[in-house]
Amino acid sequence: MMAYSQLLVTVLIIAIIYSLLAIGMNMHWGDTGLLNFAHAGFFAVGAYTSTVLTTPAATGLLGDRIVGLELPIVIGLVAATIVAALFGILIALPSLRLEGDYLAMVTLSAAEMIRLIITNEAWLTAGTQGIKDIPRPLAGAFPLSLGGFQMGYNLFYLGLTIAILIASYALFKRLSESPFGRVLHAIREDEDVPRALGKRTPVFKLKSFGLGAGIAGLAGALWAHFFFAINPTMFLPSLTFSVWAAVIIGGAGSYVGAIVGTSFIVGIRQLTRFLPNDIPLGSELPFLRLILIGAALIVVLYYRPQGLLGDKERIQAGQAMEGE
């Protein structure tokens, strides 16, 4: 019983960190209509930035990592957010005037490039060896005894990530509903219109990209500090596509939808772990899960284009136009 509740807490933490990714993606796609396929890259940049800043340099079998600053974790989290945001802006910069699908190709390639650099620049990232023993914030204080109740570390981390999720949700929703968000929505609908009305759309797109990439970086740092260890294979394009699936299934444009969609995806991925391995195809479960996610994505797009919580009326109003 204890083991299950521990597992549940871990699953929740994963769902929350992925929700942060989905929130960033929703700003890009749901609010601004930008096709970002570099999300796993921003996640990686955040994870590695915070890790390199908070761990000591280390020697390894395949090579020595000579950078490691042992700074406080708070600095790591803040730096992860900022550096990932800067990466987002940097990647968006050359492709701002491009049509949507070009941006998709550039960002997908850029994410792979980030992974290539992480894999090869071992002096900074330890390369394929990965980095271990990443410190956890306030780890020394737990388990904490609160009048008979023992609070374990995971529960504390769950609380921390929930607080960050709520703050991020509130922030992004506020942005989306502000005049700033209004310009983003106009870009999503038809970029020529805000331009004709004097809005400097490239600047707005850069800001959108930076904000969404920044929160993905923060998510990466939270991931690294919870799971102790990171390596380049954690940041494959399939992570980006899972986040996409979450945003689409939840309903593009809805921040609650982004969180619900993520919970759905993480649910499929994690809860099927409880199935016994001796059922038919039991050993293929990891692959079946991904097939299920792919199928869910297609089914939702067909039967419910607005996603689970998206605005049906808005999608239909948009289609009325397309039909002409």
Partner 1 sequence: MSTDPILAVENLRKSFGGLTAVDGASFDVEKGTIVGLIGPNGAGKSTTFNLITGFYEADEGSVRFRGEEIIDLSPEERSKEGMVRTFQITRELTGMKVSQNMRLGGQDHDGEKVIHAVAGTAKDREAEIGERAEELLRELELWDLRDEYAGNLSGGQRKLLELGRALMAEPDILLLDEPMAGVNPSLTDDIIEMIHELSAQGITFLIVEHDVDMIMNISDKVIGMHQGQVLTSGPPAVVQNDDELLEAYFGGEV
Partner 2 sequence: MATFDPQFIWFGLVSGSLIALGALGLTLIFGILDFINIAYGEYMAFGAFVAFGLNTQANMPMVVAGIGGVLGAGVLAIALDKVVFEKFRNRSAIVLLVVSIGLSFILRNSIRIIWGSGTKRFDIPIEQAPTYFGISILPDQVAIIILSFGVLALTFVLLRKTDIGIAMRAASDDTDLAQIRGVNTERLVLYVWLVGGLIAGIAGVMLGIDSVLRPTMGFLTLIPIFAAVILGGIGDPVGAVVGGYAIGLLQELSVVVIPSEYKPLIGLLVLVVGLLTRPDGLFGEATR
Q: Which residue, 187 or 245, has its beta carbon nearer to partner 1?
A: 187
Which of 278, 313, 322, 324 is close enough to bind partner 2 by CB under 8 A?
322
Least Å from the CB of residue 306 to partner 1: 11
Residue type (1 letter), 20: L
In whole angstroms, how close is the CB of 78 to partner 1 at the nearest point? 16
> Quick check: 55 binds partner 2 (CB under 8 A)?
no
The reply to whether 119 sits near partner 2 by the rule CB under 8 A is: yes
Count of alpha carbons within 13 angstroms of residue 195, beta-carbon side: 11
Coil, strand or helix at 63? coil
Position 173, amino acid: K
- Distance from C-alpha of 36 to C-alpha of 87, rounded to nearest angstrom: 13
Q: Does residue 94 bind partner 2 (CB under 8 A)?
A: yes
- Report the partner that residue 116 touches, choosing among partner 1, partner 2, none (CB closer than 5 to 8 A by kind): partner 2
Residue with tokens 């707005």: 204
> Which of the choices partner 1, partner 2, none does residue 233 contact, using the CB cut-off of 5 to 8 A by kind?
none
Of partner 1, partner 2, none, which one sits near residue 171, judging by CB under 5 to 8 A according to partner kind?
A: partner 1
Inter-CA distances, 179 with 205, 206, 311, Å? 14, 16, 19
What is the length of the chain? 324
Query: Where does this chain touch partner 2 (CB under 8 A) — which range of 1-9, 14-22, 91-99, 267-275?
Result: 91-99
Map tokens 């850069």 to a residue: 206
Stretch that binds partner 2, among 65-73, 77-85, 110-118, 193-201 (CB under 8 A): 110-118
Which of partner 2, partner 1, none interacts with 291 (beta carbon under 5 to 8 A by kind)?
A: partner 2
Handedness of CA 114, 118, 124, 125 (dihedral sign): positive
Nearest approach, Cβ of residue 158 and partner 1 (Å):
26
Quote the CA–CA distance of 214 and 81 in Å, as a whole number: 4
Contact (CB, 8 A) for 247 and 258: yes
Could you tell which of partner 1, partner 2, none binds residue 295, using a CB distance below 5 to 8 A set by kind? partner 2
**Using the rule CB under 8 A, is 275 a contact of partner 2?**
no
Q: Return the residue matching tokens 């990932």.
A: 84
Q: CB of 81: closest distance to partner 1 in angstroms?
A: 14
Residue pointed to by tokens 């990439």: 213
Residues interacting with partner 1, by CB under 8 A? 171, 174-175, 178-183, 185-186, 188-190, 192-201, 204, 207, 211, 313-321
Angle of helix 100-120 versus helix 237-250 axis, rounded to 10: 140
Chain centroid to CA 157: 18
Q: Collapsing DSSP states into helix, strand and coil, what is residue 11? A: helix
Q: Could you tell me which residues come within 8 angstroms of residue 95 by beta carbon, excluding any fewer than 6 positions away?
A: 102, 103, 106, 107
Interface with partner 2 in residues 209-268 (CB under 8 A): 237-238, 241, 244-245, 248
Which of 305, 308, 311, 314 binds partner 2 (CB under 8 A)? It is: 305
- Min dist CB 267 to partner 1, Å, is 29
State which residue, 275 or 317, has the beta carbon closest to partner 1: 317
Nearer to partner 1, 185 or 225 (CB): 185
Buried b (16+ CB within 10 A) or exposed e, 110-125: bbbebbebbeeebeeb
Which positions touch partner 2 (CB under 8 A)?
Answer: 35, 94-95, 97-102, 104-106, 108-110, 112-113, 116, 119-120, 237-238, 241, 244-245, 248, 281, 284, 287-288, 290-291, 293-298, 301-302, 305, 322
